[in-house]
Structure 1
Amino acid sequence: MTALLSVRDLVKTFPGRRGRTGRAGPPVRAVDGVSFDLGAGETLGLVGESGCGKSTTGRLVVRLLDPTEGSITLDGQDIGGLGPAGMRPYRKHLQMVFQDPHSSLNPRQTVARIISEPLLVQGASAADARRRAAELMDLVGLVPEQLDRYPHEFSGGQAQRIGIARSLATSPRLVVADEPVSALDVSVQAQVVNLMERLQRELGLAYLFIAHDLSVVKRVCDRVAVMYLGRIVEIGDKHEVYGSPAHPYTRALLSAVPLPDPAAERARERIVLLGDPPSPADPPSGCTFHPRCPKAQERCRTEQPLLRIAGPGTRQAACHFPEA
């Protein structure tokens, strides 16, 4: 598969916070050497605990944040170092759906203005932009007659549909969905997930799907990348990752997902990780997971593992002692 998006050695470092003495703390390496490819029409899930850097990675991909190091290549063009003017032609191909639909929609603007604004920025006329907004409202399952309402007049699920419609205004090729259903009720989550899958089939979209709900990721994604402390520790086809996880961290995450069969739930092994994730401002030496890993050995404390093939498939894991 030809890659629509290629990310190589992506790094994002934030300056440390200033304490009471006025001195800046150590810099925070929120994303630390992330690399992956995403094909046209494919969905890659990005999962991990809160604070692992997955949302920052998504914002770097759409260039809401500037990378500290590394490259972001969209359809053969490196966009990682482009400024605002250079990014303008590529903005229409990259869009984002945010986690909280109401906080990501301007409460002072009508739905028509919210959806049509990306088109107006790209130079479309007001009449054409409103016509396109009406088409998108119908596409996401809302009534075009609601265009002149304000975001507070919609439920959470409807507001997220408006956010999705806005992301589709410029006919993008890649949509970064940053936990698009985590703020919604379970029944509404299913509706939004079904909508996104339908839109992908009809429009040929590629998704970078960021989530912490592994059940949703298994449903919608083709491949899965697991992040821990700013790094990808396992990546591969979802059947390989879910069926036989190679990294101890992935195994621990999957063991926390409840099973619908009560007997199977009682019989399976539950892996409980001790302690909290280390601070990205002061990461451990070697494998950053070793302080919490039940399999850690001396090599893990001194040598950082690199992603490599683990098992008979194409799945990769950054572990010195991956599961067979």
Structure 2
Amino acid sequence: MTFTEPLLSVVDLTMTFPGRRRSAPVRAVDGVTFHVAAGETLGLVGESGCGKSTTGRMIVRLLEPTAGSVTYDGRDISHLSQRELKPLRQDLQMVFQDPHSSLNPRQTVARIISDPLLVQGGSAADARKRVAELMELVGLIPEHIDRYPHEFSGGQAQRIGIARALATGPRLVVADEPVSALDVSVQAQIVNLMDRLQRELGLAYLFIAHDLSVVKRVCDRVAVMYLGRIVEIGPKERVYAAPAHPYTRALLSAVPLPDPAAERARERITLHGDLPSPAAPPPGCAFHPRCPKAQEVCRTGTPALRRMEPGAARQVACHFPEAA
């Protein structure tokens, strides 16, 4: 699928949290750059603690970026006031990881889903009618709008969270691990729902996940993060078929294959050591302490994210990338 002008552009986005007491500041996100076109799904993947969720929260301005820019539909929204952001919230919404913790247990489903509409100035009567429509759209029974979140299963609660995100008619939805807290059978239902909603409503997704098999199912392009930086980004087919960065290769080698014979025969790449602390990142390439290909230049020089060949859609930040 070919996409045109970006709906969302993120350039050199950085988030630094102050350290506690005498500890060093934590650079959770370090110069991230990517774009998402209208109707496209970009997958943002990596180990826990790599900065994926922080990036998503900065895009919808739940966190104030330390540096860099977030441009939505041609407008820089990086440092808009809450008052200036209010009308933009209709276009930018978020689905959270844990459906039950993201829903107010003291409010009915009708109130939870209608809140965005009421904040934007809608009437209570129109909002209630819209809630019933949204419940049906996401596969729930409209007559259950006066129930409370605890009366729904995890998958149903996530459908409520999706309905809330869709209430104002957004163009871009940041989905932060939307299926990781659900049973495997329910995950497939939610993924299929989001796919259908994208086709019907023309949505763009930033799909944050650590499960690469889910990302392969739903995304058009994939961006791989490691310790706050993007180390590889490109079309899903190219990244999965021929990963260029050693970290991407290691992640993909851990994805189970449905064919038992192929699973036994393939090479499994094991990374030694833990993810370094963002408060004290290694010099040079942050991945070099765990990289089987690391050489001296990797320990001293930070590789820039660059195209593998002129005009190529894939970029990689590695001194010794694998040939495409």
Q: Give the equivalent residue in structure 2 for 1:15.
A: 18
**AA paired with 1:208?**
L
Q: Take 1:214 and 1:100, find their aligned partners in 2: how far apart are those partners?
A: 19
Alignment of 1:300-315 (within 5 A): 300-310=298-308, 313-315=312-314
Q: Of the candidates 91, 94, 97, which is equivalent to residue 95 of structure 2?
A: 97
Output the aligned Cα RMSD: 0.8
Q: Take 1:11 and 1:311, find their aligned partners in 2: how far apart are those partners?
A: 27
**AA paired with 2:146?**
D
What are the superposed Cα offsets for residues 16-44 of structure 1, whole Å, 9 maximum, x if unpaired? 122xxxxx310000000000010000000
Q: Take 1:220 and 1:76, find their aligned partners in 2: how far apart are those partners?
A: 26
Q: Take 1:199 and 1:241, find their aligned partners in 2: how far apart are those partners?
A: 25
Aligned length: 319
Name the % identity: 80
Q: Of the candidates 170, 190, 193, which is equivalent to residue 191 of structure 2?
A: 193
SS for the counterpart of 1:157 is helix
**AA paired with 1:13?**
T
Q: Give the equivalent residue in structure 1 for 2:218.
A: 220
**AA paired with 1:272?**
T
Alignment of 1:197-216 (within 5 A): 197-216=195-214
**AA paired with 1:286?**
G
SS for the counterpart of 1:294 is coil
Q: Of the candidates 267, 270, 274, which is equivalent to residue 268 of structure 2?
A: 270
Which stretch of the first structure deviates more once superposed, 302-311 or 222-231? 302-311
Q: TM-score, normalised by structure 1?
A: 0.98
Q: Give the equivalent residue in structure 2 for 1:251.
A: 249
Q: Of the candidates 2, 5, 27, which is equivalent to residue 2 of structure 1?
A: 5
1:120 has 2:118 as partner:
yes
SS for the counterpart of 2:30 is strand
Structure 1, gaps ≥5 residues long? 19-23
Q: Give the equivalent residue in structure 1 for 2:321.
A: 322
Q: Take 2:139 and 2:84, find their aligned partners in 1: how far apart are those partners?
A: 35
Q: Take 1:314 and 1:6, find their aligned partners in 2: how far apart are those partners?
A: 16
Q: TM-score, normalised by structure 2?
A: 0.98
**AA paired with 1:301?**
R
**AA paired with 2:9?**
S
**AA paired with 2:256?**
P
**AA paired with 2:295?**
Q
Q: Of the candidates 150, 156, 159, which is equivalent to residue 157 of structure 2?
A: 159
Displacement of 1:311 in angstroms is 5.4
Q: Of the candidates 166, 169, 192, which is equivalent to residue 168 of structure 1?
A: 166
Q: Take 2:54 and 2:41, find their aligned partners in 1: how far apart are those partners?
A: 18
SS for the counterpart of 1:87 is helix
Q: Take 1:83 and 1:288, find their aligned partners in 2: how far apart are those partners?
A: 34
What are the superposed Cα offsets for residues 102-125 of structure 1, whole Å, 9 maximum, x if unpaired? 000000000000000000000001
Q: Take 1:153 and 1:291, find their aligned partners in 2: how far apart are those partners?
A: 48
SS for the counterpart of 2:285 is coil
Displacement of 1:314 in angstroms is 1.6
SS for the counterpart of 1:32 is strand
SS for the counterpart of 1:281 is coil
Q: Give the equivalent residue in structure 2 for 1:21.
A: none
Q: Take 1:137 and 1:295, find their aligned partners in 2: how far apart are those partners?
A: 51
What are the superposed Cα offsets for residues 226-264 of structure 1, whole Å, 9 maximum, x if unpaired? 000000000000000000000000000000001111111
**AA paired with 2:20?**
R
Q: Take 1:17 and 1:198, find their aligned partners in 2: how far apart are those partners?
A: 44
Q: Of the candidates 67, 84, 87, which is equivalent to residue 85 of structure 2?
A: 87
Structure 2, gaps ≥5 residues long? none
1:33 has 2:31 as partner:
yes
Which stretch of the first structure deviates more once superposed, 303-312 or 239-248? 303-312
SS for the counterpart of 2:110 is helix
